Amino acid sequence: MKTLLTHRLSQSEIMQLCALTQGEHNNHLKEELYQLTLDDDRRVAVNALWTFTHFAAADNVWLFAKHDQLIDRCLKEQDTTKLRLILSILLRQPFEKETVRTDFIDFCLARFTDARAPYAIRALCIKLAYEQMKYWSELLNELRQMLDLISNEPLSPGLRSAWRQVIKKIKA
């Protein structure tokens, strides 16, 4: 499988990889693909992560068991492309009240308020912060205050959209 990931992938190649790993009977291939997200070859790792962002909902459930590992990787990841892809994968996962990690909440809050962080990472962190904080009204108030802080800075259309989506959810 690694040889499939060593070059720039087209959308159809991504879909072929998703089909190859589809279904419970191919969980061993999902695990192989997941291990390739840790590969020393950046292109291989990025392509493997990119493939996971295109998984169908039924196959995406397999990644739920990797939830804490993915969060740990976010906390350490220096490569912005890998970080963006891992955050995208996490956004497709449930965050349960009993298992929310305060270190990841802090990470998301710090990243979305960092004007030097890439817009896509900031937007994903806004959404992920909400998904984790939505269970507690006092944390939602804190999130609202932090969103108010960034509302005065120039925001990209994508970041402004994420901001609006979360503000709307907080008010609901």
- Give the tens place of pLDDT for each residue, 128-147: 999 999 999 999 999 999 99
Main-chain phi, psi angles of 40, to 5 degrees:
-70, -25
Provide the pLDDT for residue 10.
Answer: 93
pLDDT digits (tens, 9 = 90+) for 61-107: 999 999 999 999 999 999 999 999 999 999 999 999 999 999 999 99
Alpha-carbon span 90 to 104, nearest angstrom: 11
For residue 116, the model assigns a pLDDT of 93
Percent of the chain with pLDDT over 70: 100
At 152 the pLDDT is 85
Q: Tell me, what's the pLDDT at 11? A: 94
Q: Which amino acid is at 124?
A: L
State the alpha helices, DSSP H only, in the chain. 11-20, 27-36, 42-52, 57-60, 67-76, 80-91, 102-112, 119-133, 137-150, 157-171
